[in-house]
Structures are given as structure tokens and as C-alpha cells.
Structure 1
Amino acid sequence: LGQAFFSLSLGMGTMITYGSYISKSDNLVSSAGWVTFSDTFIALLAGLIIFPTLAFAHQPMDVGGFGLVFQVFPIIFSQIPGGYIFALLFFSLLCVAALTSTISLLEVPVAYLVDEREWSRKKAALIVGFLSFVIGVPAALSFGGMKIFTKIDFFGKFDFIFGNISLAVGALLICVFVGYVWGVKNAIKEIFSGNHKFKIKPLWVFSLKFLSPLAVIIILIFIKKLVSG
């Protein structure tokens, strides 16, 4: 769930922030569809590459996240011809992906401070970036840097809270806000400004007001039972 929300930038305000920068005439339905399709296609393609590779290298199939990237992949790269080159390319691209994701996430609080608090963009970016760095230090040191951080496992707790719970709750609150506070009529008006043939309007409204919130609530309940059990 967390990966799905994160890869699509849902529940964190990123899409709302970047959506405020586009033109009124842009087709929101088409843009959202292409983003979702591309993200899902790349994820499936990655799965078709990763799972056979894990089987070839005799690695466990249930590994994921940090362990997959920084523990299993180096072993796999060491076992294939030209593995050092592939490892260099992979981790270089991973750094680029992490950097671009960080920039997009920082834009949310930076845009708020610039627009609502009238801060300069430089000041907002520096302060938000510094605070993010400080908050991330305990997670970065959870793998042996300092015993207290390793013992508490800040990385695991941050990953669970922000990667699973917060994004789902954020998406739930956005559904409630758009569906019941801001209003479906206003949302439809924005969609129609760039797309006058919104054929799935009834399905979208039903999903926004009922289906999506219910699905997120069920998943959150399942996560709670999984943790407590």
C-alpha cells in the first residue's frame, strides 16, 4: 500500500501542489490516466525482471525494500558477468530517483511557505531541507552508526509510520475533503475545464465518496490487526 501511494505521489499533497501549476486547459483525466498507467507498467516490468533474477541467484522471494536494494542486489551483481558495471549504473540511477523524489516532496511545504507565509523560495527551501535532514539522521544511523538509533530502529519505525500509515491517512482525508468539504461539484468543474467528455463521472464520484475511503479504512484496520497480532 505504501509503495503504491508513494510511487503515485498520493496522500502527501504532491499532486495537489504540482496540479496548481498546470494550465486550466490541461486534461486532468488524461494526465492522471497516463501517470497511473506508466507507473503500473514500470512496476510490473520491474517485477518481471526482479523475481526471475532472485530465483536465478537463489535468493528469498519475500525480501523487499532496504534489504532487497542494499543487501540482495549487491550479491546478485557480484554473481553475474559485468556485475560491477550494472551495479554502478543501478545505484547511480537510484541516487537520481531518490534526489528527484526528494525535490518533489520538498516542494509541498516549500510552496506552502512561499504562497501562504510569503517566504522567499530560497529561505523556505533551506529551512525545510535542513529540518528534513535533521529528522532523517536517526533513520540513517539505524544500521550501526549509533547504538541508540540501532536499538530503537528509527528507520523501521519511520518507514512504517510515514510509508504506510501517513500516506493512507492522507489519501483518506483528501477523499473526505474533496467529496464532502470542498464538494464534488467544484471538483467536477475543475475537471471539465480541460475535459468536456468525462464519461466516468458517476464511477469517479462513487469511488471518491464511498469506495476509496472504505478501501483505505479496511486496509488501515488490517494493518492495525497485523501489527497488534
Structure 2
Amino acid sequence: MRNHWSSQLGFLLAAVGSAVGLGNIWKFPYITGMNGGGAFVIVYLIAIVICGLPLLIAELLIGRETQKDIVGSFKSLSKNPLWSNLGWLNFAASFIILSYYGTVAGWTLDYLLKSVTASYIHLPAEEITGLFGQLVGDAYTQLLYFTIFMILTVLVVLNGVKKGLERWNKILMPSLFVILVIMFVYAMTTDGAAKGIRFMFYPDFSRLSVDGVLEAIGHSFFTLSLAMGIMVTYGSYMDQKESIFPMASRVAILDTVVALVAGLALFPIVFTVGLEPAAGPGLIFKTLPQVFAVIPFGHQLSLLFFVLLSFAALSSMISIFEVVVAYLIDEKGIGRTKASLIMGVAVYIAGIPVALSYNVLSDFTIIGMPILDGLDNIASNYMLPIGGMLTSVYVGYALKKEIARQQIVDSDKLVKVFNVWFFLIRFVTPVTIFIVFLNKIGLFG
């Protein structure tokens, strides 16, 4: 008999734990900063409704209908090779992302240790900026933190749905929310609070380019952990009595709130010390440490922030790892403990070259990029958009409409919701994802 979440709260925290990762705490603030703030946020919020949420609902209904892993779900729904093999694309994306996510997650542990020891608090700005280069250039340190993260991930997942995924997300997610609120409250007391709020919510569309619009749409899709099998797998653990639309909506809302609060917690303190928000990917590991080094209570804030970032990274990695482990359990009949150990070793071996991307193997490239960047480019710019687009097309056109209706409509008031969702999943979601995909591969550039 298949395991199910013990409660709606258990599913909600696990799903939000998957969605709330480095994308919310790291990527959303820096891409918002690079694209002018308020106007970008408005486009992002609209995109969540018309693109992210419809696909999230589609993935959950596939999982709950089939009660199987990502590969088994599509195989059981369709005999057409185009659709029956779609699960493999999701599976492959998860495996590739796992191979480099552990290394990126390891960076958060390194900066957490630096925060505990206050090693950078009194350093000049140039030296603080250089710390990140020293980190990625140190092969032993990279491998050490990657190993720690993999061990933590395997230990959580091998304990199962209720005692592993659910139990740990009940610890990680409330802790993450509390830390984020503390940082937000502090940010609102700084001199840059008003400027930060205005930057986040005052729309100046003259600062938003076409690329910025497409970036907002793309992030609305990626932030909800879509097209990598997570939500299909989590949906398969849902009880038939639970209503998909309200649960999906809560996941999307909480994920969005975390992203917005993260921006409001970071931008005011960045403005307070006179730095620019458009720092790009270096915002977290280069700009913010400079900020923490000079603001009041910077040491304490640094410690809180990197605990927050580590929790977010771990919760996401757990959910991605569950996808590949569930495949071995469902399709190969392997026990959870053995499946977790097998996949843990496989991902670890695949991740070793990634951890060495910027040091020992710095001369080795994938599509002209360092190994980590190349794998991220393949997964994020090709596999996820194609997987999401094909999933939305499948659910909108190939899946029997009655299956979707039965999974979504469990009361009369949801009939109109279903009709709106069905329109979006057929005509809006796949088109927007396709446009984002064309932009990612440089067709509009």
C-alpha cells in the first residue's frame, strides 16, 4: 500500500519546502534587483497565476491519479512513446540538478561557518568579495561540504514519507519562516526601509526590458519546482479526499510570499549601506557579506541568514532526491533504505566532477562552460522548459479531460475554477513556457 501524507499540513510544508529553495532566497532577490524591482514583481505575480499555478495543479493531478513515481505515472497514463517517456525527461532533469545542487548548497554551509566564527566581519570589502573565489577554488572544501549535504539528504529520505520528508519539513519550514520574519523586521528598522519597499513595489516599467519580462515568467515556473517530477511524486502521496486546487493555491501563495519577504528583508539593508541591488548572482555570497560586515548586529544577521539559506537548500534537495528514490522503489521494487543508498552513491559520484568545476577540472567544459554552469544551463534552459511545456500540452490535449475533471472538481464551486484552469493549461501555459524557452536558448537575443 502506498504511503500518504499524514495530514494536509504535512503535504503543504513538504511541497512548500520543495518550492522554497535557493530560488526564493537567492535568485528571486537578485533577478528582481537586476530587472528594476516593482515592474518585474508585478509581471512575476501575474505569471504565477497564468503559468506556474496551472502547471502545478496539472502535475499534482497526474501524481494522485496514478499513485506512482514520475516515470511510472506517464507510462501508466499513455501508450504513446512521446508521452509515456516524458517521465524520463523529468527524472533526468532531477538527477542532473541533484549533481550540482549539492555543491551550491555546500556554499551556504561554508558561509554559515564563516558567520559562526565571524571570520569576515571586520575584513575590507575587497577581501570579503574574494572569499567566494577562494571557496570555489578549494577542491577539498568543495568536496567536504558537498559530502555533508549528500549525507544529510540521504538520511532524511531513507526514513520515508512521514518520518523523513514530512517530519523534517515540519522542522525546517517553520524555522525558515521565523528567521525570515526576524530579518524582515530588522530590515524595516533600517534607513533603507522606505527605499527598499519602493524598489520592490513601485512599478517603473521603463526599467523593465523584454528579457526582464521573460525572466519573470520563467522564474514563476521554476520557483514552484515544476518539470522535475517533484510535484508529480508528492501528488502521488496525496489522499483522494484532499482537494487539489486549494492545496496547490496555498503552495503557490506561500512560495510567493517567501520570495517577496526575502526581497524586503535584503534590499533595505543593501540600500542602507549605499550598495546597488543589481549585483546579480553575487548578491548573496559577495554583496551581502559586505553589508553584514558594516551594519549593526551584522554578525547575528549573517548567522541567521546563512542558517536560513542552508535550510532552504536542504529542503529543496530532499524533495529532488525523493524523485529519483521513488523511481527505484516503485519501478524496481527496491526497499526505501537500499534505494536511498543506491541513488545517494550514484548522485555523489556524478557530483564529484561538479564540485571540482572551478579548481581541479577548471579546464574541462560542457557546452563551453565550467561543468556546474554547463549542467545548470542544460537543465534550466532546455530540460525544464521542454518538460513543462510537454506536460501542459499532454494534460491539455492528450489526457482524458474527465480524469482531470475528477481530480480537480470535488465540489460544485470548483466547476468554474476547472474551466479557467483547463483554458490556461491548453492555451496560455504552454505558449508562455515556449516563449521563455526560445528566449533562454537565445533566439530573441
The TM tier, using the shorter chain, reads: 0.7 to 0.9
Asked whether 1:61 is paired with 2:277, we answer: yes
* 1:197 maps to which of 413, 419, 432: 413
Find out whether 1:140 has 2:340 as its counterpart. no
Q: Distance in 2 between matches of 1:68 and 1:137?
A: 26
2:321 is the alignment partner of 1:106: yes
Are the aligned partners of 1:29 and 1:191 in contact in 2 as well (CA < 8 Å)?
A: yes
Aligned to 2:398: 181
Inter-partner Cα distance in structure 1 for 2:284 and 2:364: 21
- State, as a whole percentage, how many aligned pairs show the same letter: 39
How far does residue 9 in structure 1 lie from its aligned partner after superposition? 1.5
Determine if the alignment matches structure 1 residue 166 to structure 2 residue 386. no
Q: Deviation string for 1:142-186 (max 9, x for gaps)?
A: 333543258942222222222343222221121122122222221
The reply on whether 1:80 has 2:310 as its aligned counterpart is: no
Distance 1:217 1:184, change over 3 A: same
Does the Cα contact within 8 Å between 2:325 and 2:340 map onto a contact in 1? Answer: yes
Distance of 2:412 and 2:317 partners within structure 1: 35
Say whether residues 1:115 and 2:330 are aligned partners: yes
Could you say what the CA RMSD is over the residues aligned between the two structures, in angstroms?
2.2
Q: 2:246 aligns with which of 27, 30, 33?
A: 30
Deviations 1:26-50, CA, capped at 9 Å, x for gaps: 0111001111111112211222222
Counterpart residue identity of residue 242, structure 2: D
Distance apart, 1:189 and its partner CA? 0.9
Q: Which residue of 2 is the match for residue 42 of structure 1?
A: 258
Structure 1 moving runs of 4+ over 6 Å: none
Aligned residue in 1 for 2:166? none
Q: Distance in 2 between the 1:143 and 1:195 partners? A: 54
Asked if residue 19 in structure 1 is aligned to residue 241 in structure 2, the reply is no
Structure 1 stretch displaced more, 150-159 or 77-86:
150-159
1:20-70 Cα shifts (integer Å, max 9, x gaps): 1111010111001111111112211222222232222333322234x2221
How many residues are aligned here?
A: 226
| Highest RCO, 1 vs 2 (Cα 8 Å, sep ≥ 6) | 2
Q: 1:119 to 1:71 in 2, by over 3 A?
A: same
How does the TM-score come out when normalised to structure 2? 0.47
Match of 2:211 in 1: none
> CA shift at 1:217, angstroms?
0.6
Cα shift readout 1:177-213 (whole Å, capped 9, x = no counterpart)? 2122222221111112x44421222211111111100
Q: CA offset at residue 107 of structure 1? A: 0.8
